[in-house]
Amino acid sequence: NRSSGKQGTAIAVEAAARGAKVTLVSTVPAAVPPGVDVVRVESAAEMQAAVEARYDDADIVVMAAAVADFRPVRAADHKIKKENGVPEVVLERTPDILAGLGQRKRPDQVLVGFAAETTDLRANAAAKLARKGADLIVANDVSQPQVGFEHDTNAVVIIGADGAEVEVPLSDKRQVAVAVLDAALRVRSAAVRRSPGTQQPGTE
Protein backbone atom coordinates (compact mmCIF):
# COMPACT_ATOMS: atom_id res chain seq x y z
CA ASN A 1 0.00 0.00 0.00
CA ARG A 2 0.99 3.67 0.00
CA SER A 3 2.11 3.81 3.63
CA SER A 4 5.27 5.92 3.90
CA GLY A 5 6.25 5.11 7.48
CA LYS A 6 6.21 8.81 8.37
CA GLN A 7 3.81 8.49 11.30
CA GLY A 8 5.72 5.62 12.89
CA THR A 9 8.97 7.50 12.47
CA ALA A 10 7.46 10.62 14.05
CA ILE A 11 6.40 8.56 17.07
CA ALA A 12 9.92 7.10 17.39
CA VAL A 13 11.47 10.57 17.19
CA GLU A 14 9.08 12.00 19.80
CA ALA A 15 9.65 9.06 22.15
CA ALA A 16 13.41 9.49 21.86
CA ALA A 17 13.07 13.22 22.57
CA ARG A 18 11.33 12.26 25.83
CA GLY A 19 14.30 10.15 26.86
CA ALA A 20 12.95 6.73 25.97
CA LYS A 21 14.98 3.80 24.72
CA VAL A 22 13.42 3.31 21.27
CA THR A 23 13.45 0.57 18.66
CA LEU A 24 11.90 1.38 15.29
CA VAL A 25 10.97 -1.59 13.10
CA SER A 26 10.35 -0.27 9.59
CA THR A 27 10.25 -1.21 5.93
CA VAL A 28 11.48 2.24 4.81
CA PRO A 29 14.64 4.27 5.49
CA ALA A 30 14.06 6.54 8.47
CA ALA A 31 15.80 9.72 9.63
CA VAL A 32 15.93 9.28 13.39
CA PRO A 33 18.12 10.66 16.20
CA PRO A 34 21.26 8.83 17.35
CA GLY A 35 20.40 6.15 19.86
CA VAL A 36 17.23 4.96 18.11
CA ASP A 37 17.72 1.34 17.11
CA VAL A 38 16.37 0.95 13.55
CA VAL A 39 15.51 -2.56 12.40
CA ARG A 40 14.85 -2.76 8.66
CA VAL A 41 12.45 -5.45 7.39
CA GLU A 42 10.79 -6.17 4.06
CA SER A 43 7.91 -8.56 4.66
CA ALA A 44 5.08 -8.97 7.16
CA ALA A 45 6.74 -12.16 8.42
CA GLU A 46 10.03 -10.33 9.00
CA MET A 47 8.22 -7.53 10.82
CA GLN A 48 6.41 -10.06 13.01
CA ALA A 49 9.67 -11.78 13.94
CA ALA A 50 11.45 -8.50 14.71
CA VAL A 51 8.62 -7.17 16.88
CA GLU A 52 7.99 -10.40 18.76
CA ALA A 53 11.71 -10.80 19.56
CA ARG A 54 11.68 -7.42 21.34
CA TYR A 55 8.13 -7.33 22.70
CA ASP A 56 8.73 -8.71 26.18
CA ASP A 57 11.29 -6.00 26.98
CA ALA A 58 9.05 -3.09 25.96
CA ASP A 59 6.81 -0.97 28.17
CA ILE A 60 4.88 0.65 25.30
CA VAL A 61 4.49 -0.82 21.83
CA VAL A 62 3.02 1.32 19.04
CA MET A 63 2.00 -0.61 15.93
CA ALA A 64 1.73 2.14 13.31
CA ALA A 65 2.71 0.03 10.30
CA ALA A 66 0.02 -0.59 7.68
CA VAL A 67 0.58 -4.28 7.04
CA ALA A 68 -1.27 -5.79 4.08
CA ASP A 69 -3.92 -8.37 4.99
CA PHE A 70 -2.91 -10.79 2.24
CA ARG A 71 0.24 -11.97 0.47
CA PRO A 72 0.93 -14.34 -2.43
CA VAL A 73 1.28 -17.97 -1.41
CA ARG A 74 4.26 -18.12 -3.75
CA ALA A 75 6.58 -15.22 -4.57
CA ALA A 76 8.40 -15.53 -7.89
CA ASP A 77 12.18 -15.21 -7.65
CA HIS A 78 12.48 -14.38 -11.34
CA LYS A 79 10.68 -12.35 -14.00
CA ILE A 80 7.36 -13.87 -15.04
CA LYS A 81 7.38 -14.04 -18.82
CA LYS A 82 4.22 -13.05 -20.65
CA GLU A 83 4.75 -15.83 -23.19
CA ASN A 84 3.67 -18.29 -20.47
CA GLY A 85 0.22 -16.72 -20.26
CA VAL A 86 -1.53 -14.82 -17.48
CA PRO A 87 -0.36 -16.20 -14.11
CA GLU A 88 -2.76 -17.17 -11.36
CA VAL A 89 -2.00 -15.37 -8.11
CA VAL A 90 -3.18 -17.27 -5.03
CA LEU A 91 -3.28 -15.28 -1.79
CA GLU A 92 -3.09 -16.21 1.88
CA ARG A 93 -3.59 -14.14 5.02
CA THR A 94 -0.58 -12.38 6.49
CA PRO A 95 0.04 -12.86 10.23
CA ASP A 96 -2.07 -10.60 12.45
CA ILE A 97 0.82 -9.09 14.38
CA LEU A 98 -1.26 -6.79 16.57
CA ALA A 99 -3.69 -9.53 17.65
CA GLY A 100 -0.80 -11.85 18.47
CA LEU A 101 0.78 -9.20 20.69
CA GLY A 102 -2.57 -8.53 22.35
CA GLN A 103 -2.83 -12.17 23.40
CA ARG A 104 0.49 -12.10 25.26
CA LYS A 105 0.40 -8.54 26.65
CA ARG A 106 1.52 -8.08 30.26
CA PRO A 107 -0.83 -6.20 32.63
CA ASP A 108 1.69 -3.35 32.91
CA GLN A 109 2.38 -3.20 29.16
CA VAL A 110 0.65 -0.77 26.78
CA LEU A 111 -0.24 -1.83 23.23
CA VAL A 112 -1.30 0.79 20.69
CA GLY A 113 -2.76 -0.14 17.31
CA PHE A 114 -3.64 1.93 14.25
CA ALA A 115 -6.74 1.71 12.08
CA ALA A 116 -6.76 3.23 8.59
CA GLU A 117 -10.43 3.50 7.65
CA THR A 118 -12.53 5.00 4.85
CA THR A 119 -16.03 4.59 6.37
CA ASP A 120 -17.58 4.45 9.87
CA LEU A 121 -14.32 5.57 11.44
CA ARG A 122 -15.19 5.28 15.13
CA ALA A 123 -17.30 2.13 14.89
CA ASN A 124 -14.74 0.23 12.85
CA ALA A 125 -11.86 1.41 15.03
CA ALA A 126 -13.63 0.51 18.28
CA ALA A 127 -14.40 -2.95 16.92
CA LYS A 128 -10.74 -3.42 15.95
CA LEU A 129 -9.63 -2.26 19.40
CA ALA A 130 -11.74 -4.91 21.12
CA ARG A 131 -10.84 -7.63 18.61
CA LYS A 132 -7.07 -7.12 18.85
CA GLY A 133 -6.75 -6.83 22.61
CA ALA A 134 -5.03 -3.43 22.42
CA ASP A 135 -5.21 -0.63 24.98
CA LEU A 136 -5.54 2.19 22.44
CA ILE A 137 -6.41 2.44 18.78
CA VAL A 138 -5.41 5.43 16.63
CA ALA A 139 -7.91 5.78 13.82
CA ASN A 140 -7.70 7.93 10.73
CA ASP A 141 -9.90 8.34 7.67
CA VAL A 142 -7.42 7.93 4.83
CA SER A 143 -10.02 9.00 2.26
CA GLN A 144 -9.78 12.58 3.56
CA PRO A 145 -7.41 15.16 2.02
CA GLN A 146 -3.93 15.33 3.58
CA VAL A 147 -4.69 12.48 6.01
CA GLY A 148 -2.62 9.35 6.47
CA PHE A 149 -0.63 7.61 3.75
CA GLU A 150 2.25 9.56 2.17
CA HIS A 151 1.29 12.92 3.71
CA ASP A 152 3.22 14.94 6.29
CA THR A 153 -0.05 15.60 8.11
CA ASN A 154 -2.65 13.43 9.77
CA ALA A 155 -5.97 13.71 11.60
CA VAL A 156 -6.84 11.01 14.10
CA VAL A 157 -9.10 9.96 16.93
CA ILE A 158 -7.41 8.02 19.72
CA ILE A 159 -9.85 5.58 21.33
CA GLY A 160 -9.12 3.85 24.62
CA ALA A 161 -10.34 0.46 25.80
CA ASP A 162 -12.19 2.37 28.54
CA GLY A 163 -14.12 4.37 25.93
CA ALA A 164 -12.10 7.56 26.34
CA GLU A 165 -11.42 9.51 23.14
CA VAL A 166 -8.90 12.15 22.11
CA GLU A 167 -9.46 13.81 18.75
CA VAL A 168 -6.51 15.38 16.96
CA PRO A 169 -7.49 17.66 14.04
CA LEU A 170 -5.36 17.89 10.90
CA SER A 171 -1.84 18.40 12.22
CA ASP A 172 1.81 17.69 11.55
CA LYS A 173 2.52 14.01 12.22
CA ARG A 174 4.88 14.99 15.05
CA GLN A 175 1.93 16.63 16.83
CA VAL A 176 -0.07 13.45 16.35
CA ALA A 177 2.86 11.53 17.83
CA VAL A 178 2.74 13.80 20.90
CA ALA A 179 -0.95 13.02 21.42
CA VAL A 180 -0.45 9.27 20.91
CA LEU A 181 2.40 9.08 23.42
CA ASP A 182 0.54 11.25 25.94
CA ALA A 183 -2.40 8.85 25.75
CA ALA A 184 -0.14 5.79 25.99
CA LEU A 185 1.65 7.17 29.05
CA ARG A 186 -1.66 7.82 30.80
CA VAL A 187 -2.62 4.19 30.26
CA ARG A 188 0.84 3.03 31.35
CA SER A 189 0.70 5.09 34.58
CA ALA A 190 -2.66 3.55 35.49
CA ALA A 191 -1.36 0.06 34.69
CA VAL A 192 1.71 0.53 36.87
CA ARG A 193 -0.43 1.68 39.78
CA ARG A 194 -2.47 -1.52 39.44
CA SER A 195 0.66 -3.72 39.24
CA PRO A 196 2.82 -3.43 42.37
CA GLY A 197 6.50 -4.06 41.86
CA THR A 198 6.69 -2.80 38.26
CA GLN A 199 8.97 -0.02 37.14
CA GLN A 200 7.81 3.58 36.86
CA PRO A 201 6.21 4.59 33.53
CA GLY A 202 8.54 4.68 30.57
CA THR A 203 8.34 4.45 26.81
CA GLU A 204 10.03 1.86 24.65
Active site residue 1: yes
C-alpha to C-alpha distances, 90 to 93, 116, 148, nearest whole angstrom: 11, 25, 29
Count the neighbouring beta carbons within 10 Å of the beta carbon of residue 37: 12
**Which residues, listed in sequence order, are joined to residue 39 by a DSSP beta bridge?**
25
In the set 1, 84, 124, 140, the catalytic residue is 1
The bridge status of strand 110-117 relative to strand 91-93 is unpaired
Please name the residues in contact with 20: beta carbons below 8 A apart, sequence gap of 6 or more.
202, 203, 204
Beta strands in 15-146, from DSSP E residues, in sequence order: 23-26, 37-40, 60-63, 70-72, 91-93, 110-117, 136-141
Q: Is 23 helix (H, G, I), strand (E, B) or coil?
A: strand
CB of 177 within 8 A of CB of 10? yes
Query: Active-site residue numbers?
Result: 1
